[in-house]
Chains A and B, each alone.
Chain A
Amino acid sequence: MIESEWQQVAINESAGEQPWLILPLERWRLLSAQTRRRTDLAVWLDSHEAVESIVDDLQTLPLVGLNFPVFTDGRPFSSAWLLRTRYGFQGEIRALGDVRYDLLEQMYRTGFNTFSISDEQVLEKAASTSLYFSDYYQATG
C-alpha cells in the first residue's frame, strides 16, 4: 500500500505534460511518438476502449490504467487479460474508477497488479486480509 506518484487525468481535465500523468486515450493519441516513449507518462483506457488501440506503445509504456466506470462493468477484465497474454505487456496494469474490495482478487487474476483505492475502509480491509481462494480452475494472467 503506497501513496502513488502517478496521477490520473480525467477526460476533460486540463493538464500539461508534467511527469507522472496517466492520460486519457484521446489525449494520449495526440502526443508525438517521442513523447509517448517517455517513461513518466502513461495512458488509461475506459471500459469501452479497445486495448488494440495502444498495442504499438506497449513496449515502452510503464503503466496502463483500466477504468471501471461502475464495478459491474466487466470489460476491463478482458482488456487486462489481453494485455498480458496476447500482447505480452509486462508493465504495470492499474485498476482505476469504481474499484471494490470484493473484485480485487479477480482483478489480480486477470493481470492487474496495482489498484487505485481512495476509500479508507476498503484500503484497510485490502491491507489486512489475504486472498479468499487458495487455488483456481483457470490460469492467471
Chain B
Amino acid sequence: MYNYSPKDQRLVEERAVQFQDQTRRFLEKEISDEEYQQLRLRNGLYIQKHAPMLRVAIPYGLVSSKQLRKLAEIARRYDKGYGHFTTRQNIQFNWPAIEDVPAILTELAAVQMHAIQSSGSCIRNVTADQFAGVARDEIEDPRPWAELIRQWSTFHPEFNWLPRKFKIALSGAEEDRAATIVHDIGIRLVYKDKSRTEIGFAISVGGGLGRTPVIGSLIKPYLEKKHLLSYLEAILRTYNRFGRRDNKYKARIKILVRAMTPQVFAQKVEDEWQAILTSEETNNTDALKSIVSRFTKPLYKNLDKDIPHDTMRIADSKGFGQWLSQNTLPHKQPGYRIVNISLKPTGQAPGDVSDGQLDFLANLAEDYSFGEARITHEQNICLADVESSRLRQLWEILDSQGMATPNLGLLTDIICCPGGDYCSLANAKSIPVARAIQQRFPEAGRLNDLGNIRLNISGCMNACAHHHVGNIGILGVDKKGAEYYQVSIGGSSKNLSRLGRILGPSFSQEDIPAVIDTLVSLYETSRLENESFLDTFDRIGVQPFKDAVYGDMP
C-alpha cells in the first residue's frame, strides 16, 4: 500500500471540509443547482434515477483491509448494504443522501481515501495494471508513477476545468492489462532499446471509447522518466487551450488529435514541452523517491520453488482444480500465486459486493495477502500475494461463501455497467441481460471448453463497460422508446487493441442469450485446435457469424 504523508492526509481532510461547505451552501440555496452540479461532480457525486450516486476513488485499484472494512461500513450505514466496483477500479454507492456525503468523505479520509475528481471535466482517478508488482512479465512496477500522477493531478490549478473528462492509465508490463491505448493518455513503461538496460515511457494519446471509439496514437515512443510530469503538463495544456468547448460530444482530446492529425498534435505538444523545460523546474525524480519510500513492500517468505501446478490439481477435488487453473496466475515470487475472486456468479449484478462480502474480503486479504487487495478493470477482486501451499484452504473458505466461481476470463465473467436499472444516462438495462446470458451457460464444462471470451455490456453509447473492445460487445440502444441491443464481435483491449465490428440490426432483450449462444456455437464448430475466439474470428471473418445469427431472418 501507499501510506499517506501528513500532507496527503491534510489535503483529503481539507477537501471534506470544503465539500461540506459547498453542500451546505447548496442546501441553503446560496448556490444554484447548476453551480453545485459542477462542484459535486468533481467529488464523484451524481444525481441518479432513484438517488444520488457517490463514486469513491481507488487509485490504481489498490485497497487495504482497513479500507475495505470502511467501505463495508459505509455500505451499511449510508447505502442499502452494497457497493458496485467499476471498470475504472473505483467503487460506487447507489443510495447515499446528499446531506450525508460530507460525513462519508470524512470517514473515507480517516482511512486515506477520497472521491476527488472521480467525475467531472477534469483529470480522473488514474488506473493501472491490477497485477502491478507481482506479474511475471513486468518491466517495472507502475504504481509509484501512478501515485505521482495522482498527486500531480489532484486539484491541479490549471487543469480542473477541462473541455471534458480526462482519463490516464498506466501499464508496466509486456501485456497491456490496463487497456492504455483506449485512454486519453496511455502510459507504458518500456525499455529504451534491445539492450534492456534503460527504462522510460511510451506515451499514447487520444484513445477512448464512448460514442466515437478511437485507438490512441503513439506520440512519444520513448520519454525519459524524469520528464513524465512536464510532458503530461504539455499534453494537458495543449488540450485545455485548444480542445473544443462548443459541443460536448466533440470535446474529448481524441477529437482534437484527429482534427489536428496525430503528427501535428505531437509536434504542438513537443513545442510546448520544450518551452516548459526552459522555464520551469520539472525533474520529478525526488518526488518519485519519496513516494516509493511510502509504499509498503510485501514481506515474502523465502520459499524455494513453486509447488507444481499439476500436483496441486491432481491431489484435490475437481472444483478446486477448476478454480486453480481458471482464477489463479503465476507470481514473480517463487512459492506464491495471484488469486482472482470472481464477482460474477450467476444471478448477481456484475461487480456488486455486499457489506458482508467486503468485510469477508478484508479478512481474507489480511489472512492471505499482506492486508491488500486490488480491484480489477474486469470488476473482480484480486489477492495478489497468496502462498501456493495455502491455496486449497483459501478456496475452501471462498467456496463456503459462494465466492469461488471459477469463471475468470470466461464468457460469464461479463463486464457490465449499472445500466438502466440505476443510471440516468442509459438507454437500456444491462444487468438483466448479463444475468440471462449467465443463465444460458450453466455448465462449467462448456464454459471452460469455450475458453477465454471477453463479453462486455454497456447500457448506452458512453461505453462504461467498454463494449467496443469486448470479443463480444453488447450495446443498449433506444429504438422508438423500446430497449434494444446491438451486438459487435472481434474487439480486444489487449496489446493488439482494436474495436469490434457491428453484426447488424439490433435484438430484443429476450433474443440476446440465443444470439450469444449462436455466436459461440459457431466458434465451437469452426475453431482449429487451440484457436481462441478472436483467432477464429480473424480467420473466418465476420460474415459466417452474420449468417449464423441473421440467416433465418427474413
Looking at chain B's contact residues, is the secondary structure mostly helix, strand, loop, or mixed?
helix
In the complex where A134-B14, A135-B11 touch, is A78 in contact with B155 (Cβ < 8 A)?
no
Q: What is the 8 Å Cβ interface bit string for chain B, positions 139-156, against chain A (1 contact, 0 not)?
A: 000000000000110111
Q: Which residues of B contact A141 (CB under 8 A)?
A: 157
Measured CB to CB, the nearest residue on chain A to B163 is A74
Find out whether the CB atom of A78 lies under 8 angstroms from the CB atom of B241: yes
Find out whether the CB atom of B22 lies under 8 angstroms from the CB atom of A102: yes
Find out whether the CB atom of A109 lies under 8 angstroms from the CB atom of B157: yes
Find out whether the CB atom of B18 lies under 8 angstroms from the CB atom of A132: yes
Find out whether the CB atom of A74 lies under 8 angstroms from the CB atom of B240: yes
CA distance A106 to B35 in the complex (A): 16
Instruction: Select A138's contact among B14, B18, B152, B245, beta carbons within 8 Å.
Output: B152
Report how many residues on chain A are interfacial, defined by Cβ distance under 8 Å. Answer: 28
Find out whether the CB atom of B158 lies under 8 angstroms from the CB atom of A85: no
Find out whether the CB atom of B39 lies under 8 angstroms from the CB atom of A102: yes
Interface membership of B27, Cβ < 8 A: no
In the complex where A102-B39, A135-B11 touch, is A73 in contact with B152 (Cβ < 8 A)?
no
Q: Which residues of A contact B7 (CB under 8 A)?
A: 135
Find out whether the CB atom of A135 lies under 8 angstroms from the CB atom of B35: no
Interface membership of B275, Cβ < 8 A: yes
Interface membership of B368, Cβ < 8 A: no
Find out whether the CB atom of A136 lies under 8 angstroms from the CB atom of B161: no
Find out whether the CB atom of A138 lies under 8 angstroms from the CB atom of B241: no
Instruction: Select B151's contact among A100, A132, A137, A140, beta carbons within 8 Å.
Output: A137
Instruction: Select A137's contact among B31, B38, B39, B155, beta carbons within 8 Å.
Output: B155
Instruction: Select A136's contact among B22, B31, B155, beta carbons within 8 Å.
Output: B155
Looking at chain A's contact residues, is the secondary structure mostly helix, strand, loop, or mixed?
loop
Q: What is the 8 Å Cβ interface bit string for chain B, positions 152-185, against chain A (1 contact, 0 not)?
A: 1011111111110000000000000000000000
Q: A103 to chain B: closest CB distance in Å?
A: 8
Q: Which residues of A contact B14 (CB under 8 A)?
A: 132-134
Interface membership of B279, Cβ < 8 A: yes
Q: A66 to chain B: closest CB distance in Å?
A: 13
Measured CB to CB, the nearest residue on chain B to A112 is B157
Find out whether the CB atom of A77 lies under 8 angstroms from the CB atom of B161: yes
**Chain B residues numbered 252-271 whose CB sits less than 8 Å from any CB in chain A:** none
Interface membership of B280, Cβ < 8 A: yes
**Chain B residues numbered 204-225 whose CB sits less than 8 Å from any CB in chain A:** none
What would 14 more interface pairs be, CB under 8 Å, given A73-B245, A77-B160? A50-B241, A72-B161, A75-B245, A77-B157, A78-B158, A78-B240, A100-B35, A103-B161, A109-B157, A132-B14, A132-B15, A133-B14, A135-B11, A137-B155
Interface membership of B392, Cβ < 8 A: no
Interface membership of B121, Cβ < 8 A: yes
Instruction: Select B279's contact among A78, A86, A109, A140, beta carbons within 8 Å.
Output: A86
Selected A-B contacts with CB under 8 Å, 8 pairs = A75-B241, A77-B157, A77-B161, A81-B157, A103-B161, A106-B160, A132-B17, A133-B155
Q: Which residues of B contact A81 (CB under 8 A)?
A: 157-158
CA distance A140 to B157 in the complex (A): 8
Find out whether the CB atom of B38 lies under 8 angstroms from the CB atom of A71: yes
Measured CB to CB, the nearest residue on chain A to B120 is A72
In the complex where A77-B240, A85-B279 touch, is A110 in contact with B11 (Cβ < 8 A)?
no
